[in-house]
């Protein structure tokens, strides 16, 4: 697979790199200059709190099976690929998705800041590994491998920082917000600015669109719950839509390491 630097001219390539760096720096500066954002405890109050078979918040708990299925299916799709740095990062991504399902189910079973930690931790690992994989595809395996560790570490630290500050009475979600939303901004930027001669981009767009739609349903949790006569809530639909988006996603082609260097 040809990397982005082989598809576009050198001058245009470095100009686009500069634009990408500018977006990252701007996002960090904006986040750093926003006042600390504590976790709103009303976040734990979901519209659909029905208890079925002794399971509280049943719909929001059981709908997380979509993430578990998506993660397992993703792993199965690449099960015959030999182990390499690239396949490790993709396996890490799909494992993270499966653990999102487990962590989110645990959180929705007993919603609190402490259980929310186990929901958010695997999500940050998923965002980090996906970003690293995109970097490896567009800029070469060395770059992807180089950013993988720092991205994963920053994700873990952002969630730990949030929980520690919450327990200290001065909660601060800013690093976590940056770690979650910056990759969702960077991935489309990278895809557009650094194109490949490949049809695999459509899977990234499906993934991004499903994420945006899922977030929209999440924000309309109660409204959708009432519109459906309390059959299903926006948050439950968020889980299902995001899970289906990941289920549809597949790496276009996992190349031999030598082709991505």
Q: Per residue in 221-258, pLDDT tens?
A: 999 999 999 999 999 999 999 999 999 998 865 654 44
Angle subtended by helix axes 174-193 and 113-139, to nearest 10? 20
Residues with Cβ within 8 Å of 169's Cβ and at least 6 positions away in sequence, in order, are none
Q: Which two tokens stand for residue 84?
A: 């390499």
Of 41-50, 64-73, 85-94, 157-166, the range with the lowest mean pLDDT is 41-50
Q: Sign (positive/negative) of CA torsion 219, 216, 36, 99?
A: positive
CA atoms within 13 A on the CB side of 89: 28
221, 235 contact by CB (below 8 A): yes
Rounded to two decimals, the pTM is 0.89
Sorting pLDDT into bands at 50, 70 and 90, what band is 259?
very low
pLDDT of residue 256: 44
What letter does residue 169 receive in the DSSP assignment? T
- Per-residue pLDDT band at 3 (split at 50, 70, 90): low
Torsion of CA 141, 146, 148, 150, to 10 degrees: -170
Local structure of 200: helix, strand or coil: coil
pLDDT at position 213: 96
Instruction: Check pLDDT > 90 for residue 163.
Output: yes
Average pLDDT, the chain: 90
Q: Give pLDDT tens digits for 91-100.
A: 999 999 999 9
Question: In whole angstroms, what is the distance from residue 249 CA to residue 237 CA?
Answer: 18
pLDDT category of residue 4 using cuts at 50, 70 and 90? low
User: Rg for the chain (alpha carbons), in Å?
Assistant: 19
Please enumerate in sequence order all residues whose Cβ is within 8 A of that of 88, keeping only pairs 6 or more positions apart, or say none.
Answer: none
pLDDT at 199 (0 to 100)? 66
Domains in the chain (CATH in brackets) are 4-260 (1.20.1070)
Q: Which of 84, 185, 172 is nearest to 131 (CA)?
A: 185
Q: List b or e across 70-106, with b for residues whose CB sees 16 or more CB atoms inside 10 angstroms.
A: bbbbbbeeeeeeeebebbebbbbbbbbbbbbbbbbbb
pLDDT for residue 260 is more than 60: no
At 72-107, the pLDDT tens digits run 999 999 887 777 889 999 999 999 999 999 999 999
Instruction: Report how far residue 204's alpha carbon sits from residue 134's, in angstroms, rounded to the nearest whole number.
Output: 9
Q: Which of 151-155, 162-166, 182-186, 253-257 has the lowest mean pLDDT?
A: 253-257
What SS3 class is residue 55?
strand
Please report the pLDDT score of residue 234 as a whole number: 94
């Amino acid at each position: 697979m040809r990397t982005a630097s082989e598809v576009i001219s050198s001058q245009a390539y470095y100009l686009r790199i500069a634009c990408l760096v500018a977006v990252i720096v701007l996002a960090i500066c904006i986040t750093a200059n926003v006042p600390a954002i504590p976790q709103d405890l009303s976040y734990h109050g979901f519209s659909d709190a029905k208890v079925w078979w002794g399971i509280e918040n049943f719909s929001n708990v059981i709908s997380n099976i979509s993430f578990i299925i998506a993660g397992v299916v993703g792993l199965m799709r690449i099960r015959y690929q030999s182990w390499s740095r690239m396949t490790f990062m993709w396996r890490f991504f799909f494992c993270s998705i499966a653990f999102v399902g487990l962590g989110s189910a645990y959180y929705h079973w007993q919603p609190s800041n402490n259980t929310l930690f186990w929901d958010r931790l695997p999500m940050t690992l998923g965002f980090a590994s996906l970003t690293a994989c995109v970097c490896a595809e567009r800029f070469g395996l060395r770059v992807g491998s180089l950013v993988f560790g720092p991205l994963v570490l920053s994700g873990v630290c952002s969630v730990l920082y949030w929980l520690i500050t919450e327990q200290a009475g001065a909660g601060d979600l800013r690093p976590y917000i940056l770690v979650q939303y910056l990759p969702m901004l960077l991935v489309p930027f990278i895809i557009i600015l650094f194109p490949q001669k490949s049809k695999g981009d459509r899977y990234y767009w499906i993934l991004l669109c499903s994420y945006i739609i899922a977030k929209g349903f999440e924000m309309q949790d109660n409204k959708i719950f009432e519109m459906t006569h309390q059959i299903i809530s926006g948050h439950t639909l968020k889980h299902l839509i995001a899970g289906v988006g990941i289920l549809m996603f597949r790496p276009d082609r996992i190349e031999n390491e030598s082709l991505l260097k």
